[in-house]
Amino acid sequence: MALDLLTFLQVSEEINWAIAHYANLRGEAYASDLLERVESFENLEDALCFALAGFTATRYLDTMYCENCFIHLKGIEACDYPDIIHKIITPDCSMVNHILLTEEMVLDQDHSEIINSCYIGK
């Protein structure tokens, strides 16, 4: 999806901020992995959301996977809370075990419908 210039600049700024933030917080190696995950997605607008949730795009049939726990998801959107979905399916994965329970309200919601439609296994 092509982005207009303003959206592109805004998204790039968010990505740069996140990379700098995580380099500071979790080290250069994590930040570099995060950038690699961002760059795996064609849709830059949602890339940061998926990359922060620990996913890398496969570029095959709209699927993405976690290189740590190897779950594969298909057809998920940024608004489906990919980080929460990841944590529900594999709560011990180190990519998501830092997600705080301040997300409890979101965790409490029923995500079974989206999980049934997007989770294609390991």
5-to-1, 9, 45 alpha-carbon distances in Å = 13, 6, 12
Structure tokens at 46: 């949602």
DSSP code for 69? T
Give the nearest distance from C-beta 65 to Zn ion in angstroms: 8
Q: Residue 6 or 29: which CB sits closer to Zn ion?
A: 29
Cβ neighbours, 10 Å, residue 42: 11
Give the nearest distance from C-beta 94 to Zn ion in angstroms: 8
Rounded Cα–Cα distance for residues 47 and 31 (Å): 14
Q: Residue 35 or 69: which CB sits closer to Zn ion?
A: 69
Give the nearest distance from C-beta 82 to Zn ion in angstroms: 11
Cβ burial 82-103 (10 Å sphere, 16+ → b, else e)? bbbbbbbbbeebebbeebeeee
Q: Give contact residues for Zn ion (rule: CB under 5 A).
A: 66, 68-69, 93, 95
Give the nearest distance from C-beta 106 to Zn ion in angstroms: 18
Q: Residue 20 or 26: which CB sits closer to Zn ion?
A: 26
Q: Residue 11 or 114: which CB sits closer to Zn ion?
A: 114
